[in-house]
Structure 1
Amino acid sequence: MMRYVLTISALAIGLSTATAQRIDTLMHIYTEAYPREKVYLHLDRSAYNTGESIWYKAYVTNEGVPSALSKNVFVELLDDHGRVLDRNTAPLVESSAAGSFVLPASYKATTISLRAYTRYMLNYDSAFLYYRTVRVLNTTAPLPAGHTVVIKTGAPHVTATAGGTQLRFFPEGGDYIDGVDSRVAFKATGPDGLPVEVQGTVVDAKGVKKATFASVRDGMGTFIFTPVKGMTYQAVWKDKAGTAHTTPLPAARPNGVSLSIDSQDSAKIYTVEAVTGDSVATTFHLIAHTGGQVFYLATLHLQDGEIVRQAFNTASLPSGIVTVTIFDADWQPVAERISFVDNNEYMFYPAIHALYTKFDKRAENQLEIEYADQVKSNLSVSVTDADLDAPEDAKGDNIISNLLLTSDLRGKVYKPWDYISNPIDSVRKEVDLVMLTNGWRRYDWNVIVHKAYPRLTYMPDSVMSLRGAVYGVPAKMMKDMGTINLITDDGGKAHRFLFAEIDTGGNFQVPHYFVFGQQKIYYQFNKRDLFGSATVRMDNGLFKGVGNIGLPDTVAPPIDSSVMVHEKDFQRLVHDTSGIFKVKNLATIVIKAPTKSPEQLLDEKYASGLFSGGDGYQFDVANDPVAQSMQSVFQYLQGRVAGLQITTGSGPTSLTWRGGSPGLYLDEMPVDAQTLQNISMTDVAYIKVFRPPFMGMGGANGGIAIYTKKGEKSAPADFKSLDNTVVIGYTAPKEFYSPDYASIQTAPPPDSTDLRPTLFWQPFVLLDTKTRRAKLDFFNNDITKRFKVVVEGITADGRWAHKEMIVETEDTRKTGGR
């Protein structure tokens, strides 16, 4: 969300200004030195079959706003034991990236997980990397409504297991103390990881009842309990089935500080009670902070048994988790409590318009996404078969609940979106049960207070560069090895010629050199006396991934029984279609290709890697007589690209498109405007302009690629006899397949079977003051009767959107689907 600058408030109970400034300054220094990035994945669906593609959009944030820290993101596909099955590496554009995985056809487990992170995030606890577990439908037997599968690898806070049901206790503030009324929270889950409703009593060793408890929301609840020194306690309780269990409670501490928090509409009220056993007052420090900023601090001098009750205002705070920590006089933490603030300033609201919809077989549909604001927004849109996408997932985790709530908590939160989106006040207040029953310890206070700052192992990375090292050269020759010539081979297209200086350590680099997939590179030294002895190794300079680090406690999202019924019918239909299986088969149907346009032939001749294809404008400059009369490529482009503003004159040339400057490339290498300004139009063969976002370096606001005629020069006839190596670059992006049934040339044959569960996927919809609407066209498959539309995204100033809409006829609304 938007960044806030908070003013610290100091409670006048023996607090010195110097102390307040000290802890505030230390916290600020730590937060600035150790920013925390987060990754969120928007998936096209909530459940999949083996053999299908999982499409995703990755959003990377830093303190709620799009992150400018990292330049790449890593997304991994994990099996049910946390082993890496596949890994994608992608450059970040607009602090986001898109990609896909194919769920292996041979996969047998009922769940599969995705993990996403930046290299910089690995400096911190791996539990705070992004994890998402999804159901594999066709490996799952039909289950009763609401059932799921749980994967457990971590140890709970305080756990007692009875008959497969876990009952965990969480004393408020961390511990309860002998003789002090304490609030104790609890959370009960079944063997499937889902909440279990329980009720019971707390009895002492003599069997005397001391408290009663009953869950009030998703297996969670609280009770007030006053332990007595030397006495032990246990909970006697029953689960929903009426089965009786007995669970011992953890022991109380003989002394310490109790901390409780109560919420009002615009304030938090804290109560502190000290049990010290001393005759003199004991000093404690209390701070409240959010987002790494301290906004409240009090120093408390408390007598044994003394209680302090005070409040701090939350109306001006950013929404999210507020942490209240109590320290002793030596600044050692003794109690901590988290609480949630919701001031509802973090959302924006794009509109979804169904311009025309038809549910007939292979009918054309059109949606419009609209958002009118001065700030740029970055959105992703999915359209799926509503009967094959779990309705329970509507209350599950999404971009808002994740960035605001669950990404800062350990453990699984059941239906987190309901706590934020539900307008019923009692439900929104029940989020405090989540605060009491989920672990939290983002900050190591010893590090902050004593300035024992750790050394970062993983620094923020940069975009891909071609890096190489020369080996086997005699020491006397390493002082001057000259340059190395490189010839790229993309498989038959025009080859690129590069050169790089070799330093005295034998290293060379071509910065910002992008490769998607793999590329063979031939090389030759300028100094012929290096030919015989030297060998070369080249690399992309990218991080190679984190490896197998296991999974945190992860619960697969619940699958409604109606979805399993539709899935069973769907699988029967699949088997009845002679082996034709969904999108995979539609995409591989052989269709006679139409005659290629001159622009397509030019693109095949010149463009390679991420510059191939794409959405934009193409100009055959070599065969355009008007081009030869232009003084520069910028003069030629003026008025030819909608929305592109080019300013020339006595000063440097500037370009603006959709609120930013597009990336500039000469023969696919990044250059500045002055370089292109000096290129003679007689040397230009082809110009390609990419609409935003373009995946190249600096392409968040689009890209302009200039190809020169000298690029036509053939490589030496014998260049393939040169030494060579293969460089692996970013994961090659795949295009979402969406058949065009309106086109006779490209439409699949009428006797084919179209069973696509995902009808449309567009990971990049960029809206701003000049582009406020985006029209999205797609065709229905052969069976879908209801569409589920999901839009998620983020604005440049850190507001988030999640919107779902079911598009259906009145008949399907009444019957609940097909």
Structure 2
Amino acid sequence: MPWKKNFINYALLAAIALAFTAFQWSEEDFIQFISNKLSKYRGAIPVEKAYLHLDKPYYATGDTLWFKAYLTEGALHLADSASNLLYVDLIEQRSGKNAILKRVQMIGGIGHGEIVLADSIAPGAYTIRAYTNWMRNAPEDFFFQKNVYVFNYEQNTSANTTTGKIDLQFFPEGGQLVTDINTRVAFKAVNEAGLAQDVAGFVLAQSGDTVASFKSEHLGMGRFQFAPKAGESYRAFVKESNGNVTPFAFPKVYDTGFTMVVDNLSNPLKMRVIAYAKVPGKTEIPVHVVGHARGIVAFVAKGKIGSRGLMMQLPTAELPDGITHLTLFDDTGKPVSERLVFINHFRSLNVHVKPSKTEYKPREKVDLEIAVTDSAGKPVAADLSLSVTDAGQILQQPFEQNIVSYLLLSSDLKGIIEQPAYYFDPARSDRKIHLDYLMMTHGWTRFKWEDVLRDSIPPIKRYVEQGITLEGDAKRNNKRLTEKTALSLFLSNDSLSNFMTSETDENGHFIIYNLAFSDSLQLRIQGMNKKGNQSLSFALNPFDAPRASMVKIPFKPVTVDAQRLADFLKNAAQDQEISRKIRENRERLLKEVTIKAKKEVPRDSRKLYSSADASLKVTPQMASGYTSILDMLQGRVAGVSIMGSGMNAVVSIRGNRGEPLFVLDGMPVDKALITSLNVFDVESIDVLKGPSAAIYGSRGGNGVISVLTKRGNENYDYSQDIVPGVLVTKIAGFHIPREFYSPQYGPASPPAPNPDFRSTVFWAPMLKTGSDGKARVSYYHSDATSPADIRVEALSPGGLPGFGKSAYSVR
């Protein structure tokens, strides 16, 4: 039976009813009650999930990070979600600053793009995130987040291996410990970096007796049997390597309550649920068990917990792949115990990658065939993304996240899920029990049952975006408006011209939704059909990026082989040097002119210095899409590092700890004034480093950034001034993806003069399989003689994810 929306598995209910006469299914009204409540909640707050496939796990400064974006709805993972705009940003973990932001247009739930890691970007650990505006209504834990590392060319492989303080938490199965009821307790230990830490220890009663011992089995996780006694309290202790012991809090023991034990491992076709209760004055307690997967009800059951508990065996064949959430409701309809179980019928797509040969020569043409089938072996049409990397430079991470592990597992859990693909590897015999530990130590927290049952819908603060949103405020004589005001807007670029009208609210706030355009648009906005239009002023609100949590101790979130890293950095540096020389040659070619006379160049009175170390001439095309001078300067001048954006940007020149001196038309000013300037009013930006800045004395010790405005120039044409009551500016649109450059080395092609040691050999983000379930692609290998790693990720329109990998050797 297929898994569909609003599906109640009555066949499953009937099968269990026949198997257990002591267990009766609930009346139709309760089934409908629970289903309606969940359906209403899910309809009011539907879930979106974003996923990024990156070309490789780590990068070097000057490199390009390539990504394919997938956007699905949250329950069935259908590929076409409501939002058409996906935000992709890069966060520096050390400071929590937003280094780069891209707006990616999603068509049919897919999109792609790249992030250029300019030389000025600081090396270190970063987090790349992907989210829609609608996703911001939920906690940021449910954004797609992936750790990457950016190396510089001098960096070694040493890393901070100190674990620091350990955080150890215990999780009684079902939620709580109840006196005289034997149950299981899971635990998880992490270090200060939030990564798994293996531990061993014991539990002591008040009397000092050892009542249990524990030892982690997988990534700091494990579990043990525990039978709490009435009137007792307990403490846990961890044995350190030096022989010391560290105390940790242990869960409280309750005199009354419910427990639920689930066995999802013994039988591949059934799971066993055992419930116990201890309630004064009650020997038999009617209860319900509700199972749902991602908010869609799978079954509702009713039984009675007696003195010996209640046992059920639930068939799992018809449950969907992924996390099923079990909740025990007492006789008052209150949720009293919860447990997550993971169902894996291997219904994901099978992705087979087959090179035409097992071995190639350097620069030889490589032909790949990708075949996608479902679990029954039938061909499937799907969207694909393909990455080929040089295994001599890039070490693929152990059990790294892929689209299957993310959609079915990580996206519905809070916290860091380490090595998520491990739990989907059939070759790992212990993966099922380790996955059960994970289910006991992580919670599914997209909603609370109390909110669902009371129809308590959280307020919606963010809306679905199907295009770019233009938002701002209008004032009259710098005062807030007191009435609605009609506005006219004219938007244009090289290929588009459109006139539209809008209206402010009573306070002057206005919002224009769903503008669909790439790159940038020129905007002209003014009041309409009202007196006093010339006294209006307009301010556009910049994008307010969600905050990022800072990592207390920066760490390398990647596993790096020393030799691979050395080769990777060597080749990356060589590639950057070749690119630099090519640029220099082009510059010299442009400057080769015959000078017959010396031209007098009038000195600009705004400059104390005779020449700058770097000068940036600002053109309208260059300023397009930027709201701040510092945003525009970012990545354009070597040695200038700018982290963050707008007024929150942190600026440094040549690694100086302090910020440079800011000068506006010859006068020292603060950074706030510089960031508030309209980029289209700027004529040029000069950067002074080291000795060049000495003319400004000690104030220039950290360098100087000199901004020269058009109006500050004595030759400025004042006819260019903006008309009062009119705002003319440019607004940023969807990111225009670049095409991955793949050299052509055919027999007839002349030999390339430069060495080719690409770390990403080939990147194809927008592949599709045909009706036969196959896609074919060709490219030329690099000069490397090391093996090539191939990674393919896939998603069908019906929401089935897939992952495949392959390799070939080069000699």
- Aligned equivalents of 1:50, 1:35: Cα separation in 2: 39
**Residue 25 (structure 1) aligned with residue 36 (structure 2):** yes
- Aligned equivalents of 1:798, 1:194: Cα separation in 2: 31
> In 1, are the aligned partners of 2:722 and 2:728 still within 8 Å (CA)?
no
Q: Using a 3 Å threshold, how does the CA distance of structure 1 residues 487 and 729 change in structure 2: closer, same or farther? A: closer
What pairs with 1:391-470 in structure 2 (closer than 5 Å)?
391=396, 393-464=397-468
Q: Using a 3 Å threshold, how does the CA distance of structure 1 residues 569 and 503 change in structure 2: closer, same or farther? A: closer
**Residue 53 (structure 1) aligned with residue 51 (structure 2):** no
> In 2, are the aligned partners of 1:94 and 1:378 still within 8 Å (CA)?
no
**Residue 70 (structure 1) aligned with residue 68 (structure 2):** no
Question: 1:507 deviation in Å?
Answer: 11
Q: Using a 3 Å threshold, how does the CA distance of structure 1 residues 209 and 488 change in structure 2: closer, same or farther? A: closer
Q: Structure 1: state its 5+ residue gaps.
A: 151-162, 594-608, 611-717, 812-818
Deviations 1:714-773 (A, max 9, x none): xxxx999987622323243241442534489999961x4544321222211122328842
What pairs with 1:614-653 in structure 2 (closer than 5 Å)?
none
Q: Using a 3 Å threshold, how does the CA distance of structure 1 residues 586 and 351 change in structure 2: closer, same or farther? A: farther
Q: Which residue of 2 aligns with 1:550?
A: 549
Task: Find the partner of 1:96 among 110, 113, 123.
Answer: 110
Question: 1:174 deviation in Å?
Answer: 1.2
Q: TM-score, normalized by length of structure 1?
A: 0.70
**After the TM superposition, which of the residue ranges 193-202 and 255-264 deviates more from structure 2?**
193-202
Question: 1:508 deviation in Å?
Answer: 11
What pairs with 1:184-583 in structure 2 (closer than 5 Å)?
184-238=185-239, 244-263=245-264, 264-279=267-282, 281-303=284-306, 305-354=307-356, 358-360=360-362, 362-371=363-372, 375-391=380-396, 393-464=397-468, 486=490, 488-490=492-494, 496-500=496-500, 513-521=515-523, 533=534, 544-550=543-549, 559-561=558-560, 563-572=561-570, 577=574, 580-581=576-577
Q: Using a 3 Å threshold, how does the CA distance of structure 1 residues 348 and 130 change in structure 2: closer, same or farther? A: same
Q: Using a 3 Å threshold, how does the CA distance of structure 1 residues 523 and 132 change in structure 2: closer, same or farther? A: closer
Task: Find the partner of 2:157 among 142, 158, 169.
Answer: 142
Question: 1:553 deviation in Å?
Answer: 10
Deviations 1:619-649 (A, max 9, x none): xxxxxxxxxxxxxxxxxxxxxxxxxxxxxxx
- Aligned equivalents of 1:507, 1:316: Cα separation in 2: 51
- Aligned equivalents of 1:97, 1:191: Cα separation in 2: 36
- Aligned equivalents of 1:332, 1:296: Cα separation in 2: 17
- Aligned equivalents of 2:52, 2:337: Cα separation in 1: 34
Give the letter for the 2:549 counterpart: G
Secondary structure, in 3 states, of the residue corresponding to 2:135? Answer: helix
Q: Using a 3 Å threshold, how does the CA distance of structure 1 residues 299 and 136 change in structure 2: closer, same or farther? A: same
> In 1, are the aligned partners of 2:256 and 2:278 still within 8 Å (CA)?
yes
- Aligned equivalents of 1:244, 1:525: Cα separation in 2: 72
Q: Which residue of 1 aligns with 2:644?
A: none
Question: 1:128 deviation in Å?
Answer: 1.2
**After the TM superposition, which of the residue ranges 498-507 and 313-322 deviates more from structure 2?**
498-507
**After the TM superposition, which of the residue ranges 119-128 and 189-198 deviates more from structure 2?**
189-198
- Aligned equivalents of 2:63, 2:758: Cα separation in 1: 9
- Aligned equivalents of 1:337, 1:509: Cα separation in 2: 44
- Aligned equivalents of 1:560, 1:335: Cα separation in 2: 39
Secondary structure, in 3 states, of the residue corresponding to 1:533? Answer: helix
Q: Using a 3 Å threshold, how does the CA distance of structure 1 residues 331 and 383 change in structure 2: closer, same or farther? A: same
Q: Using a 3 Å threshold, how does the CA distance of structure 1 residues 422 and 480 change in structure 2: closer, same or farther? A: closer
- Aligned equivalents of 2:539, 2:745: Cα separation in 1: 47
Question: 1:87 deviation in Å?
Answer: 1.2
Question: 1:417 deviation in Å?
Answer: 0.7
> In 1, are the aligned partners of 2:88 and 2:130 still within 8 Å (CA)?
yes
Q: Using a 3 Å threshold, how does the CA distance of structure 1 residues 196 and 471 change in structure 2: closer, same or farther? A: closer
Q: Which residue of 2 aligns with 1:647?
A: none
- Aligned equivalents of 1:318, 1:554: Cα separation in 2: 39
Instruction: Kindly report the root-mean-square deviation, in angstroms, between the aligned alpha carbons of the 2 structures.
Output: 4.2
- Aligned equivalents of 2:580, 2:372: Cα separation in 1: 34
Q: Which residue of 2 aligns with 1:808?
A: 809
Q: Which residue of 2 aligns with 1:774?
A: 776
Question: 1:230 deviation in Å?
Answer: 2.1
Q: Which residue of 2 aligns with 1:668?
A: none
Give the letter for the 2:254 counterpart: R
> In 2, are the aligned partners of 1:149 and 1:193 still within 8 Å (CA)?
no
Task: Find the partner of 1:119 among 133, 143, 163.
Answer: 133
> In 1, are the aligned partners of 2:181 and 2:228 still within 8 Å (CA)?
yes
Question: 1:335 deviation in Å?
Answer: 1.3
Q: Which residue of 2 aligns with 1:712?
A: none
Q: Using a 3 Å threshold, how does the CA distance of structure 1 residues 293 and 503 change in structure 2: closer, same or farther? A: closer
Give the letter for the 1:95 counterpart: G
Secondary structure, in 3 states, of the residue corresponding to 1:259? Answer: strand
Q: Using a 3 Å threshold, how does the CA distance of structure 1 residues 101 and 446 change in structure 2: closer, same or farther? A: same
Secondary structure, in 3 states, of the residue corresponding to 2:348? Answer: coil
Question: 1:354 deviation in Å?
Answer: 3.9
What pairs with 1:707-786 in structure 2 (closer than 5 Å)?
725-742=728-745, 750=753, 752-769=754-771, 772-780=774-782, 782-783=783-784, 785-786=786-787
Deviations 1:108-142 (A, max 9, x none): 45310011111111122221111111123348642
- Aligned equivalents of 2:722, 2:215: Cα separation in 1: 78
Secondary structure, in 3 states, of the residue corresponding to 2:107? Answer: coil
> In 2, are the aligned partners of 1:287 and 1:297 still within 8 Å (CA)?
yes
> In 2, are the aligned partners of 1:287 and 1:298 still within 8 Å (CA)?
yes
Q: Using a 3 Å threshold, how does the CA distance of structure 1 residues 105 and 744 change in structure 2: closer, same or farther? A: farther
Q: Using a 3 Å threshold, how does the CA distance of structure 1 residues 504 and 183 change in structure 2: closer, same or farther? A: closer
- Aligned equivalents of 1:569, 1:400: Cα separation in 2: 31
> In 2, are the aligned partners of 1:592 and 1:745 still within 8 Å (CA)?
no
Count of matched residue positions in the alignment of Structure 1 and Structure 2: 656
Secondary structure, in 3 states, of the residue corresponding to 2:178? Answer: coil
Give the letter for the 1:571 counterpart: L
Deviations 1:583-631 (A, max 9, x none): 78779985999xxxxxxxxxxxxxxx99xxxxxxxxxxxxxxxxxxxxx
- Aligned equivalents of 1:760, 1:223: Cα separation in 2: 48
Secondary structure, in 3 states, of the residue corresponding to 2:565? Answer: helix
- Aligned equivalents of 1:214, 1:471: Cα separation in 2: 65
Q: Using a 3 Å threshold, how does the CA distance of structure 1 residues 257 and 738 change in structure 2: closer, same or farther? A: same
> In 2, are the aligned partners of 1:583 and 1:755 still within 8 Å (CA)?
no
> In 1, are the aligned partners of 2:193 and 2:551 still within 8 Å (CA)?
no
> In 2, are the aligned partners of 1:196 and 1:240 still within 8 Å (CA)?
no
Question: 1:309 deviation in Å?
Answer: 0.9
Q: Which residue of 1 aligns with 2:631?
A: none
Give the letter for the 2:394 counterpart: D
